[in-house]
Structure 1
Amino acid sequence: MIPVSCVFDQAILTTLLDHDPVVQDYRQFFALLDWSLVQQWEDQQSLHRRPPTHSEAAYIKAFLLRIREGFMYSTQLRRFLLKHPLLIIELGFHLELDPSAPYGFDAHKTLPSRYWLGEKLRTLDPLLLQQLLEATVHSLQAEIPGLGETVAFDVKHIYAWVKENNLRTYVTERFDKHQVLSGDPDCKLGVKRSTNQEQPDGSTKEKKELLWGYGSGVAAATTPDYGDVVLAEYTQPFNEGDVTYFRPLYQRAAVALQAFPTHVTADAAFDAWYVYEAAARHGGIGAIPKNGHGHPEMVRDPDAVPRCAKGLRMTPRFGFQHTNGYRAQRFGCPLLFPTPTGEACERLSSNHGQGCHKDPNWEAGGLMRVLLDRSSPLYKAVYTQRTSCERINSQAKELGIERPRLRNRRSIANLNTLIYLIINVRALQRAISINRGLLPMI
């Protein structure tokens, strides 16, 4: 809506909007998002409740502006918009008309309060934000051929806004994981980094860096010419292990791409059979360093058949469903199965006279995990793309993801999605510019 005032008529205000550099910058930025999704969401919501004072699109645009401008607090956002009344019109807030005002409306009465801006960030529909993020992936696919053939996974730590994370403040029981913090009841204690320090006697001692907060999981893809793209994101409290992010991220990435990735890659924290399984089912590999998790390595032949403690090739007996959710293969003592050989072994009397046995994971992903050639050119080429997540995390850090001034999980999760939206829109702007430059001059 273009207001009218005693100073500027509608024609002049329209001209001002068309020539204001800040308004034009945000108009071009917002044009790359699919706002029809927001309109459809509002139409569905209007069937069950009265239309709100301001549109959902206006709030989302305001929060995107807050992140782009580097504002940590809603107060800063509101103060900035009061200084740029033309932006208030451009964002689409419902104007409180006042013809005596220079721009035809009362900016103070139009803008939501600081409290309501914070509350609105918390109550934004996360599914709607996910749909907007998916739409940017579809737009990027139209500009970047083959996007998403290889997908990388990683987790970024987020510090909760609590005094327990401030080492300069005295706090009793700072790292008691069972307590619920008053500053942010949703955050959890987790390990940011674990290192082994050598002691004077030559032994090593594990040192853990702990923090209260959240983890932001990201699935990303990269291409040499176009750079890095966010395919999916997922936020959890920080006490969850990195590998727990994989399944929701993989599902969201597949939905966004409307196809399953061929290859996946991640660091050693994602070394689980079902991560490899996702790639094996679609003819790809899981380029992930092997992580023994402190367990001794099973000696196997090139076809994955294990060998016993004496070095003998074990005998396959039967398959069964393991309690950990995968298909396992039972291998028995070669001195007893399929028929006893009569050869002596001190382990023959174990397991009720059946000798030693092993139950390796016999799923395609489980076999890939132990048989994959991690020195092959394909593995190295796929694993190199893991750095796309590191570059995405670096961009997200610059946009304020690491230390948000928020005190609940839902607000932080919504903020994270909005940050990744900005990263993808920037990638889309870059891709459009590159493709435009590749077109032959007519």
Structure 2
Amino acid sequence: MIPSTAIFDQSQMTHLLSIDPLVQAYRALFSLLDWSLVEQWQSQRSHRGRPAHPMSTYLKAFLVRICEGLPTTSALRSFLLKHPLLVIELGFGLVLDPQAPYGFDEQESIPCDYWLRQQLRSFDRCLLQDLLFATVRSLQEEIPGLGEVVAFDVKHIYAWVKENNPRAYVAERYDKTRVLAGDPDCKLGVKRSSNQEQADGSTKEKKEYVWGYGSGVAAATTAAYGDVVLAEYTQPFNEGDVMYFHPLYQQAAVALQAFPTHVTADAAFDAWYVYEAAARHGGIGAIPKNGHGHPEMQRDTDGVPRCAKGLRMTPRFAFQHTNGYRAQRFGCPLLFPTPTSEACERLSSNHGQGCHKDPNWEAGGLMRVLLDRSSPLYKAVYTQRTSCERINSQAKDLGIERPRLRNRRSIANLNTLIYVVINVRALQRAQSINRGLLQRCSLPLSDSPTSYACLPSVPMHNFVK
């Protein structure tokens, strides 16, 4: 509703909205989101009780908070009070007052800080995910081949608690069993671990602990269009990085409506099932190998292990390992398939059956140990891992690292909206680039060396063999 006032009539108010630069900027941003998802969600809810502000209004308000870099919900409300035309554009139910400059009472029309915080906390997670997936589908229409390579990473988030303030005295600051009064949902985790050399030449591991959360992200990149968020997932910070993979991979597949061909991540994601996800679809997992402190098993090029004497071991039987993968038992070549007269000090071990090995025999397990990490394909895929770092940098600029919130659900909802903003900006950039390409394609080609034709994007695998 556009109010009438003692100063402006409705036609003048409409004109003010059409020329206000802030309103026009957010109108353009909001136009790139699929609000029909919100309307469909709203139609399924009960309409009993007092008329409420539309859910789209609250979502738009928190998108404004992110874009404006407002640290708190109180700062968001103060910002809206200073921009009454934006309040009209967001769609708040206005409390009309013809004597007010803009025809409504701003203080009464905008909900209080408590209610705004409550709305952030109670946002439907499925609705927010659907909004994020809708931006991915819009980006797919603008960027051919998006999502052929998907990168994974985790960004740390500081909880808003005194335990993260080194200047505040806190007894048992790093007791992981504690439930903090400031944020009961946050957990203690390791942000960074490094080895420091001591005076005697030895090394000592130093860890930097943080109370908070981790925001996992799946991202894709293209040279011309930049970086895109495909999926996100927020957990307490005590979870290992690799625990984010399955939720992120599943969400990325839903967003893309297809499985990625290649995956890439840092060494924290070096687990057989990460490689398995790529192997099932003809791709590779470009991940540095992480021994996790275990000695390396000597193998042949086909994955068959060798014993301590360097002999090729004999396959015996396959079985389901307790860690969830299919393993292959290999036995001593001096005993299986038939005993030989050759001596070995290990023949009497393992109840007289000699030494044995049980390597992971899944496609992902074999890829993990046999992958050529010096190949051009591996290097080309691994290079795209930096897309997550750039996404994390953008998210940090939008306030993801130190949210002034005190519960997991609010932080998770704000994180999703931050990634929606990143994708909407990527969509604006992609549409601008494509409009420029269409304008260039409409120009006639000449015979001069500087003339060109517009070429479609070609998937990476056509260049890297």
Q: For the superposition of Structure 1 and Structure 2, which TM-score range results when normalised by the shorter chain?
A: over 0.9
- How far apart are the structure 2 equivalents of 1:316 and 1:182? 56
Deviations 1:390-442 (A, max 9, x none): 00000000000000000000000001000000000000000000000000347
Shift of 1:344: 1.6
Indicate yes or no: 2:4 matched with 1:4: yes
- How far apart are the structure 2 equivalents of 1:176 and 1:270? 27
Deviations 1:220-264 (A, max 9, x none): 000000000000000000000000000000000000000000000
Q: How many residues align?
A: 441
Deviations 1:292-342 (A, max 9, x none): 000000000011000011111000001111110000000011111111112
- How far apart are the structure 1 equivalents of 2:15 and 2:33? 24
Task: Give the match for residue 128 of structure 1.
Answer: 127
Shift of 1:119: 1.2
Deviations 1:131-165 (A, max 9, x none): 00000000000000000000000000000000000
Q: Unaligned regions of 5+ residues in structure 1, if any?
A: none
Task: Give the match for residue 319 of structure 1.
Answer: 318
Task: Give the match for residue 375 of structure 1.
Answer: 374
Which moved further from structure 2: 69-78 or 129-138? 69-78
1:173-184 correspondence to structure 2 within 5 Å: 173-184=172-183
Which moved further from structure 2: 205-214 or 94-103? 94-103
Deviations 1:169-196 (A, max 9, x none): 1111000000000000000000000000
SS in 1 for 2:249: helix
Distance of aligned partners of 1:405 and 1:186 in 2 relative to their CA distance in 1, 3 Å threshold: same
1:105-184 correspondence to structure 2 within 5 Å: 105-184=104-183
SS in 2 for 1:45: coil
One-letter identity of the residue aligned with 2:285: G
- How far apart are the structure 2 equivalents of 1:232 and 1:258? 12
SS in 2 for 1:63: helix
Shift of 1:46: 2.8
One-letter identity of the residue aligned with 1:41: W
1:256-267 correspondence to structure 2 within 5 Å: 256-267=255-266
SS in 2 for 1:382: helix
- How far apart are the structure 1 equivalents of 2:50 and 2:257? 33
SS in 2 for 1:46: coil
Task: Give the match for residue 274 of structure 2.
Answer: 275
Task: Give the match for residue 14 of structure 2.
Answer: 14
Task: Give the match for residue 356 of structure 2.
Answer: 357
- How far apart are the structure 2 equivalents of 1:28 and 1:423? 15
- How far apart are the structure 1 equivalents of 2:49 and 2:319? 56
One-letter identity of the residue aligned with 2:14: T
SS in 1 for 2:258: coil
- How far apart are the structure 2 equivalents of 1:437 and 1:336? 71
- How far apart are the structure 1 equivalents of 2:326 and 2:425? 44
- How far apart are the structure 2 equivalents of 1:197 and 1:178? 27
Shift of 1:100: 2.0
- How far apart are the structure 2 equivalents of 1:63 and 1:249? 24
Distance of aligned partners of 1:187 and 1:97 in 2 relative to their CA distance in 1, 3 Å threshold: same
- How far apart are the structure 2 equivalents of 1:52 and 1:376? 62
Shift of 1:50: 4.8
- How far apart are the structure 2 equivalents of 1:340 and 1:97? 95
One-letter identity of the residue aligned with 2:338: T
- How far apart are the structure 2 equivalents of 1:186 and 1:164? 14
One-letter identity of the residue aligned with 1:22: L
- How far apart are the structure 2 equivalents of 1:204 and 1:301? 34
Q: Unaligned regions of 5+ residues in structure 2, if any?
A: 444-465
- How far apart are the structure 1 equivalents of 2:183 and 2:50? 31
1:169-318 correspondence to structure 2 within 5 Å: 169-318=168-317
Distance of aligned partners of 1:50 and 1:345 in 2 relative to their CA distance in 1, 3 Å threshold: farther
- How far apart are the structure 2 equivalents of 1:141 and 1:334? 54
Task: Give the match for residue 99 of structure 1.
Answer: 98
Distance of aligned partners of 1:260 and 1:52 in 2 relative to their CA distance in 1, 3 Å threshold: farther
Shift of 1:52: 5.0
SS in 1 for 2:368: helix
Shift of 1:99: 1.9
One-letter identity of the residue aligned with 1:359: D
Which moved further from structure 2: 345-354 or 426-435? 345-354
- How far apart are the structure 2 equivalents of 1:391 and 1:51? 44
Task: Give the match for residue 460 of structure 2.
Answer: none
One-letter identity of the residue aligned with 1:247: H
Shift of 1:354: 1.1
Indicate yes or no: 2:78 matched with 1:46: no
Indicate yes or no: 2:27 matched with 1:27: yes
Deviations 1:40-86 (A, max 9, x none): 00011137x55751010000000000011010111111111111111
One-letter identity of the residue aligned with 2:350: N
- How far apart are the structure 1 equivalents of 2:355 and 2:180? 50
